[in-house]
A and B are shown apart, each in its own frame.
Chain A
Amino acid sequence: MTDKIQIEVVNRRTFVLGASAAAALVALAPLGSTPASAKAWGDYLKEAIKGATPVEGKVKIDLPEIAENGNTVPYKVNVESPMSDADHVTDVHVYATGNPGPQVISAKFTPMSGKAYVKGRMRLAKTQEIVAVAQMSNGKVYMGKTTVKVTIGGCGG
C-alpha cells in the first residue's frame, strides 16, 4: 500500500519536471545576461566595414514600434540602389544594439537580387535600437536605425 503511494508521488514529480522543461523550450527563454567580455555592436560594425564611415540614409529598416514578444520580431531592410553590375549593395549587416550578441544577420547581395531587400525574424532582449548598415560596391557605407519597444524580452528579460 505505502509502496503504491510512493510510486505515485515520484511519477507526479517527474511529470512536473518534464512539463516545466517543455515550457522552457516553448518560451525559448534566456539568452542570459550580457557577459562582461562581450563586444559592443560598434566593435562588430567596425570589423565589418573596415574603417569606412557610415552615412545615415538610403537604408530603411522596418520593425514594429512595439514588440509584445521578443522571441520573434519581424524585420525588413530595404536599401535604395539601382543594383546594377557597377553600382549595387554587396552586404547588409543588422545589429540589435541591446542584445547579448548584437549581430543578427549579415546578408550578401548580388546584382541578380534586383533589389537590396531582406526580411526575417529576430530575437530582442529588451527595448533597444536596431541598426542596419549597407555596404555598396563602390565602398560607401550607409546606415539606418529604428527603435523597438519590447514588452517581453526574448532573451530572458
Chain B
Amino acid sequence: MAKPRVKVPKKAKVGDIVEIKSMIGHKMETGLRKNKKTGKAIPRKIINSLVVTFAGKELFSAILYPSVSANPYVAFNLKVPGSGDVVFTWTEDGGKTTTAKKTITAA
C-alpha cells in the first residue's frame, strides 16, 4: 500500500461540521481481471475496510468492495466536539494495515 494522503483541518471551532478527506494509493485488484499472457485470473486484492476514530471513539467506518476505483478516495464529515486526533486505518485483503494520524485543535 502506498502512502496515504489525508486532509483534515488543523483548527476548527467546536460544533463546526468539517470535511475530512482520505486517499490511499492502491490498485484495488478486482479478482475478475485476467492475465493476458497466461489467461489466469489475477487474484483479488483490494483495501476492504477503512476505520476512522476521533479521540479514541469510532467516527466513521466503511467496507469497500471491488467496485471502488483504484486509489480509493473517501470523504466524510465530523462535527467537532473538541480537540483530538483523527486516526485512519486501512486494511487490505490479507490483513495488512496502514494508518495515518492528524490532530484537530479546537478553538
Are B32 and A32 interface neighbours, CB within 8 A?
yes
Are A29 and B70 interface neighbours, CB within 8 A?
no
**Chain B window 1-40, contacts with chain A (Cβ cutoff 8 Å), 1 for yes, 0 for no:** 0000000000000000100000000010010111011000
Bound-state CA distance A123–B65 (Å) is: 10
Chain B interface size band reads: 20 to 34
Task: Give the A-B contact count at a CB cut-off of 8 A.
Answer: 118
Are B30 and A110 interface neighbours, CB within 8 A?
no
Instruction: Give chain A's interface secondary structure class.
Output: mixed
**Chain A window 110-146, contacts with chain B (Cβ cutoff 8 Å), 1 for yes, 0 for no:** 1111110111111110000000000000000000000
20 additional A-B residue pairs with CB within 8 Å, beyond A107-B74, A113-B78, A123-B68: A28-B70, A29-B33, A31-B30, A71-B69, A103-B65, A104-B68, A106-B62, A107-B63, A112-B57, A113-B79, A114-B77, A114-B78, A119-B74, A119-B76, A120-B68, A120-B74, A121-B72, A121-B73, A122-B67, A123-B67
Residues of A within 8 A of B (CB): 17, 20-21, 24-25, 28-32, 71-73, 83, 96, 99-115, 117-124, 154-155
Residues of B within 8 A of A (CB): 17, 27, 30, 32-34, 36-37, 54, 57-70, 72-79, 81
